[in-house]
Structure 1
Amino acid sequence: DIVSNASCTTNCLAPIAKVVNDEFGLKEGLMTTVHAVTATQQTVDGPSQKDWRGGRAACYNIIPSSTGAAKAVGKVIPELNGKLTGMSFRVPTANVSVVDLTARLEKGASYETVCAAIKAASEGPMKGYLQYQNQDIVSSDLIGHTHSS
């Protein structure tokens, strides 16, 4: 079977949401992505068929935008369908994006417990897709990185 990853944001969000849901039960979540500019964005201010903000110069602005990534996760992980929502900020970086997931959980969990679960998944069933990172890095350090999350 072939499953489309839908988008780079979906490909990043899905492994994290799966681990959190499997370990703690995800009641609902808000995903925010800080996303590198894309080829569809304007390089200078101009008209946009999508929305007014979409026509603003990508290299000079942080541009709020919609994203279907949260809904797409519900298609590949059916138990999360309708539990996630999200938004995007397009920022003037050449490559690499970040996803922030704020979730309300079924079971209580400390920050350390959540980190441990993600680290364990990255060394086990999600190895090669999910990587646990706790070093002081910036986005350009991840250019060429092969993990989706």
Structure 2
Amino acid sequence: MWHNSHEASQNILPLFTNAAKSADNVIPELNGTLFGMVFHVSHGFNLHLEKTVKTGKIEKLVKQASGGPLKSILSCSNDQVVSCDFCSNSHSSVFGTGAHIALNDHFLQITF
């Protein structure tokens, strides 16, 4: 599926980390000299399944989870979106219902 294009710079989210503070605790000589930052880029992951599962079943399960036990963590979107579309979204992860590829019945790539 082709997503509407946006600049890559709009879709990388800088996040601050406490890694530098942790390093200061371990190596006191570095105190105040390190600054930690990570960059979050939307990504997907590959699933290699033992049992045959159709992508429609995966979508159904993720939608159920996002409306149930993961309601405050996981959201689903039917729109063609990229990460800058979620700057004000409070969920930790957003599942793009059309943004996955089934290479066969045992191997899927899912985008969050």
Question: Normalising by the residue count of structure 2, what TM-score does the alignment of the two structures yield?
Answer: 0.46
Instruction: Return the index of the structure with the highest Cα Rg.
Output: 2
Greater share of helix residues, 1 or 2?
A: 1
Greater share of strand residues, 1 or 2?
A: 2
